[in-house]
Amino acid sequence: MFRRQSDPTNALFGASALPSPGQSNWPWILGAFALTALGGWWIGQWLGEREPIVVGILHSRSGPTAAQERPLIDAEVMALEDINRAGGLLGRKIRWVIADGGTDGNSFARQAERLIRDDRVDVIVGCWSTASRRAVVPVAEANNHLLVYPNRHEGFEESPNVVSIGPLPNQQIAPAVAWCQEAMSARRFFLIGTDDPWSRSAGAFLGDQLAGIGATLVGEEYLPAGSLDVASTIQAIGTSNPDVVFSLLGGDATAALLRQLREAGVRPADLPVMMFTVSEDELQAMPRDDVTLNYVVAGSFQRKDLATDQAFIRTFTTSTGNERPTSEQAMAAYGAVRLWAEAVKGAGSADASTVRSTISHQTIPSPEGVIAVDPDSRHAWRNLAVGRIRSDGQVDTLWSTRGPTRPTPFPATRTRPEWTKFLVTVQREKAQRRAAPSPEPRSGATP
């Protein structure tokens, strides 16, 4: 009698794993199908969790402010590379897409739409000017998305879809005025800025503050964007006899102001200039005789011997192959990305609508000190330091706030409706000036 050989498949799976002759195949077939489907679902989930998180970087890579925004792009990419080297976020790598806003509000809005719709980014980090930010905010709101904005701005704005890292006027102007009164006994202030909402808002805030403490804003001038013609400003400064000049101009215009003051025989010891928007890399390009012993106001300053964060500065300054200084804006841009990353960890998700809840309560260390988001306004608390420029172009810190200053987008010197009306008026008058015929240039004026 022959014994039937055992079925190796039955030996592997058990005698009941496969149907015997005469039994229906359907239960086994359905079970195998279910097992396959379940396995496929788990594999899909496993793969899906490891798809990259996508970050949109939106700045001007062309146009008048491209040079100013390039360090911010570099710092944001550097932060993302650091995160990837540490293993990414939530077990996923980060991929980034850099879009060019072209220094035009409408272009910024279109690029933001494209990043959200086509590139499916999880967050947008960027913008520079008020016009670019205000063009992107409605896009973020309409798509229930998130914009992290690293630059300074005038305030008068709060949105659940925007977190602002840069300082407001109450975090820069107010502490600087207090220091000038204490250290210089200054009572007469002169302000020069660019004809834009930030400068004019800072001027309005300064005027309100000085009136409240019995000091005087003896003059204010606002140059067209890109103008280097400071001749009338030099004349106005000489006429008004201020104790200190607050300059909100960019690097080239500030360089022209300092040069002409020196040529007019005005020394920093007689009339110091405090610069609020000039970065340390811009200072390096200015003649030493013009800048030495004037002042810079920022969150912190780079010093090779007293750096706030040596690791950040060492990496950033050599990332292009040539040593370069850092800037407050670059450090804020780096911190903006790290702030968002910590919020993603806290949320356990990169979904923009989810991260918006955690980022509004986020606090992290950064190269320029602690960044803490105020949950009421979604603006960051900020430190401030006053520094004096040395003959080698570096900056010595003379004074800093004891702790970060709370952001006040709508300063208490006026009501919220009054500030909103002020900003609308500023924008309307600027549009009218643009539409008006250009006056004939004065002799010697910059064309």
Tell me what pLDDT residue 305 has.
Answer: 44
| CA–CA separation, 64 and 237 (whole Å) | 28
Q: Say how many C-beta atoms besides its own lie within 10 A of residue 428's C-beta.
A: 10
443 found inside a domain:
no
285 found inside a domain:
yes
Structure-token pair, residue 59? 């700045």
177 found inside a domain:
yes
Last residue of a domain, one of 381, 405, 420: 381
| CA–CA separation, 271 and 245 (whole Å) | 7
- pTM of the full structure: 0.81
Contact residues for 347 (Cβ-Cβ < 8 A; gap 6+):
354, 355, 357, 358
| CA–CA separation, 94 and 105 (whole Å) | 27
**Do 139 and 218 reside in the same domain of the chain?**
no
Mean pLDDT by 10 residues, the chain (447 residues): 39 38 47 45 46 97 87 92 95 97 91 98 95 95 97 92 94 95 96 93 96 96 90 94 94 91 92 90 85 90 54 63 67 92 96 94 80 94 92 88 92 95 90 71 36
What's the alpha-carbon Rg for the chain, to the nearest Å?
Answer: 29
Tell me what pLDDT residue 367 has.
Answer: 67
Q: Report helix angle 105-117 to 130-142, nearest 10.
A: 30
Tell me what pLDDT residue 310 has.
Answer: 58
| CA–CA separation, 318 and 300 (whole Å) | 19
| CA–CA separation, 15 and 434 (whole Å) | 89
List the CATH number of the domain containing 338: 3.40.50.2300
Instruction: State the total domains in the chain.
Output: 2
Tell me what pLDDT residue 28 has.
Answer: 46
**Do 390 and 265 reside in the same domain of the chain?**
yes
DSSP 85-103: HTT-BTTB-EEEEEEE-TT
Contact residues for 238 (Cβ-Cβ < 8 A; gap 6+):
264
**Do 214 and 274 reside in the same domain of the chain?**
yes
Tell me what pLDDT residue 39 has.
Answer: 45
| CA–CA separation, 96 and 56 (whole Å) | 6
Tell me what pLDDT residue 248 has.
Answer: 94
- Distance, C-alpha 405 to centroid of its chain: 17
Three-state DSSP at 45 gives helix
**Do 117 and 156 reside in the same domain of the chain?**
yes
218 beta partners: none
Tell me what pLDDT residue 309 has.
Answer: 56
Of 331, 284, 333, the closest CA to residue 312 belongs to: 331
Q: Return the amino acid letter for 178.
A: A
**Residue 276 domain boundaries:** 169-298+383-435
| CA–CA separation, 60 and 39 (whole Å) | 47
305 found inside a domain:
no
33 found inside a domain:
no
DSSP 308-344: S-HHHHHHHHTTTSS-----HHHHHHHHHHHHHHHHH
Q: How far, in Å, are 18, 252, 391 from residue 287 at the CA level?
A: 88, 12, 10
Cβ atoms of 418 and 322 within 8 Å: the answer is no
**Do 123 and 95 reside in the same domain of the chain?**
yes
User: For 63, phi and psi rounded to 5 degrees?
Assistant: 100, 180
156 found inside a domain:
yes
97 found inside a domain:
yes
Three-state DSSP at 228 gives coil
**Do 353 and 400 reside in the same domain of the chain?**
no
| CA–CA separation, 363 and 371 (whole Å) | 6
225 found inside a domain:
yes
